[in-house]
Amino acid sequence: MKCFKINLSLDLLSSLGLGSIQGTGPQTFSKVGEPSEADAATIIFLEQDRLLEAVQQSKAGLIITSVGFAASLPDRQLLVVEKPYYTLMLIIAHWQKAEQQNLAYHIHSSAVIAADVRYEGEVEIGSDVKIGQGCTLGKGVIIGSGCKIGDNVIIGAGTILYPNVSIYEDCLIGKNCILHSGVVIGSDGFGFMLMQGIQQKIPQVGNVVIGDNVEIGANSCIDRATLGSTRIGDGTKLDNLVQIGHNCQIGKHCILCSQVGLAGSTTLGDYVYLAGQVGVAGHCKIGDRAMVGAQSGVSGDIPADGRYFGYPAMDANLTKRIMAAQKHLPEIYRGYLRQEKKES
């Protein structure tokens, strides 16, 4: 159950043009949730037969559903749409945006902020935050408690930093980004050179550039480039516990699931999907719209629209054929032994 700080009226929902209202019921709502926990102030959705009985028994004030279920919900207030779940997500996003716009912005007294920090509008800064010299904060930026921001960092309008995010010096964060707790942006790339028997550190003096509408999951790390920029394209989404090595170039609207690791100087095109625990060797190039299956090990380039899977990662169809053939290896081996015995 999610309880919002502001109410959403039925008139406003109607004005959004998401669907048609049928029936009568409450006129304002403050919650979204599951059918079993709903009350008159709650909005729920229905788009699967298995949930019909639970929704019928629910006390929810508004049910978002499709035409096919409307007849099964007589005397209930409905918002009839083509895609109920998707519509509910749009409503929640609208609700969250409205709450953010109504936020009473303030700067906590314990925050330590350099005197020359530039504000492009109202911002929210929590307790125990430290912000270095030469930084710029866009309008509506929210910085949670315990965040540490180095010198000359730029954070675009509407971006949210949840508690304990660290952004090193000279990094650029776009507009409307979300960085979850524990994210580290701009730590040194993992660069060393063996010299006279000693692992000598290679200085990492580049930065990280993150586009607009990027979301980065909890405890993910993006290393700064050695000289240039590690880049994350607009709209790309990183799950929790993702590691991006130095000098990586990630395109627009990519999806990187939990525990993906990219070694240095990896390049991803646009709309690339990497499933959980995919590892990519350094300097590999993965083309636009490519997809790599879970736990795959990528050691070479992948073409645009490629579907790869396995360790080492190969064309998914080839990997499946190999896996199917492996099941017959014991039988083949026994046949080999029988033939060898006959010949002897």
Q: SS3 sequence, the chain?
A: CEEEEEEEEHHHHHHCCCCEEECCCCCEEEEECCHHHCCCCEEEEECCHHHHHHHHHCCCCEEEECHHHHCCCCCCCEEECCCHHHHHHHHHHHHHHHHHHCCCCCECCCCEECCCCEECCCCEECCCCEECCCCEECCCCEECCCCEECCCCEECCCCEECCCCEECCCCEECCCCEECCCCEEEECCCCEEEECCEEEECCCCCEEEECCCCEECCCCEEECCCCCEEEECCCCEECCCCEECCCCEECCCCEECCCCEECCCCEECCCCEECCCCEECCCCEECCCCEECCCCEECCCECCCCEEECCCCEEHHHHHHHHHHHCCHHHHHHHHHHHHHHHC
Break the chain into its structural domains and give their ranges: 2-101, 112-315
Q: Please state, in angstroms and rounded to a whole number, the distance separating the CA atoms of residues 154 and 135.
A: 6
| pLDDT above 90 coverage of the chain, percent | 88
Smallest CA-to-CA distance from 238 within 222, 267, 204, 215 is with 215
* pLDDT value, residue 102: 82
Question: With bands split at pLDDT 50, 70 and 90, how would you rate the model's confidence at 332?
Answer: confident
% the chain with pLDDT above 70: 100
Backbone angles phi, psi at 138, to 5 degrees: -70, 170
Predicted confidence at residue 290, as pLDDT, reads 98
Quick one: average pLDDT of 302-317? 94
| Mean of the per-residue pLDDT values of the chain | 95
Give bridge partners of residue 222 from the DSSP assignment.
185, 244
Of 127 and 100, more confident: 127
Residue 223 has a pLDDT of 98
pLDDT digits (tens, 9 = 90+) for 189-205: 999 999 999 999 999 99
Residue 39: per-residue pLDDT: 96
CATH class of 112-315: mainly beta
pLDDT band at 336 (very low <50, low <70, confident <90, very high): confident
Out of 106, 180, 246, 328, pick the active-site residue: 246
pLDDT tens for residues 252-276?
999 999 999 999 999 999 999 999 9
**Which one is predicted more confidently, 340 or 155?**
155
Is residue 19 a contact partner of residue 80, using CB atoms and an 8 Å limit?
A: yes
Q: Are 60 and 71 in contact (CB under 8 A)?
A: no
Find the mean pLDDT for residues 289-312: 96
Position 36 scores a pLDDT of 95
- For the question of whether the overall pTM of this predicted structure is more than 0.95, the answer is no
pLDDT class of 104 with cuts at 50, 70, 90: confident
| Range 208-247 burial, b when 16+ CB lie within 10 A, else e | bbbbbbbbbbbbbbbbbbbeebbbbbbbbbbbbbbbbbbb
Give yes or no for residue 338 having a pLDDT over 80: yes
Say which residues have a Cβ less than 8 Å from residue 201's Cβ, sequence separation at least 6: 188, 191, 192
Secondary-structure class of domain 2-101 per CATH: alpha beta
Using an 8 Å Cβ cutoff, are 220 and 238 in contact?
yes
The torsion region of residue 295 among left (phi > 0), alpha (psi -120 to 50) and beta comes to: left
Where is average pLDDT lowest: 100-109, 150-159, 211-220, 240-249?
100-109
Active site residue 246: yes
pLDDT at 141: 96
Spatial CA neighbour of 32 closest among 63, 55, 57: 63
CB atoms within 10 A of CB 266: 21
Which pLDDT does position 10 carry in this prediction?
A: 93
Q: Express each pLDDT in 229-252 by its tens digit.
A: 999 999 999 999 999 999 999 999
